[in-house]
Structure 1
Amino acid sequence: MRCINLILLLVGAAIAAPYELISKRELGDHEWSRSKKTGCPAYLQAGEFEFPHYITQISAKNPEKAFGPKYNGVFTPNDISTIFSFDIPASRADANCTLEFLFPQKDQLKTSSFSYKGDGTFFFTGYNPGSCPGPNTTFNNQPKPGPFPAFPPIHMEPGYAYTIDVGPCFVGAGTCVAGGE
């Protein structure tokens, strides 16, 4: 449950210039089966992925409200977004990182669930490396946008894995890296 909740799994912490969706592929049951060791999708090798170390929400309609730490993501149109923070080990400095959103079908889940309404358009924002959220983060004091352009809107639907970005980990290695949707 700690690994994903609302099925956001960022493999690494892509910091390279995000411009367009790299790939969309069907998420097969064999990929989504859980590893007994980590509880995460079985095709992710230990040490080759990072799960969020801190999750919080912000609200455009309640810009001074601090939600504190959360265990899952919440997204509502024109209001609530979720910020995910990852600690990227310094040992990953020379590696490539992949930002991937795994969005399984509800019947592929065993210990969590989600509700999904609307047209499925998601917006991703990368924040400056090292400027990560905390218990007092609000919409008005969220981390500042990172050095690269914003991701374009991405249409996503259950049952697919979306590779959003691939690039060097150098910007975030040894620090926390945060992004929001």
Structure 2
Amino acid sequence: MSAEKVKSLLKQILGDVPGMVIMGTVTELNHQDRTCDISPEDGGADVLDVRLRPLVDGKDTGLNLTPAKGAHVVVLMIDENDGLLISCTELETFQVKVGQHQAKLDKEGWCFNSGDNGGLVNWPSLVEELNKTNSFVQAIAEALTQFVPVFGDGGAALKTFATTKLGAHQLGSFDGLEDSKVKH
């Protein structure tokens, strides 16, 4: 949807209040205060400290959009001095926090809650590698139950028997199974 279409729809909903909706480009971001500065498309004076959240309370609950520098934005003017970001063309981060749960999307990928548990497991690959390991363990069990000791050979028969029985099996490899783009 074009910026003009968004502006038109907002004016239909809110009425024809001059200067109530401003289209512009993000020139500066203040992550700590959760604000940005924009340069209006109409060439007017820059709008400073546009809120990225409805309340300036330092909290990170609810939905938090951080536009990328240079993104085109739609700002709703709350009064003559205070604006609130309502839409943008490009995000730096998207974060939602509900109670004790949160999800964040940025250029690194998704992170759920703290991300301390690492990336998600690629399940089909894990099953394939577990099946290899199970096959190997099964072969060991069969080899040990089928072996017939030979008196006085010093274990050579066991070594040959085990090598023959286990040589065709592979251990599973669990490298590369983590999807590091999604952490939980």
Query: Which of the five TM-score ranges fits, normalised by the shorter chain?
Result: under 0.3
Provide the TM-score with structure 2 as the length reference: 0.19
TM-score (normalizing by structure 1): 0.19
The structure with the greater share of residues assigned to helix is 2
Higher relative contact order (CA 8 A, sep 6+): 1
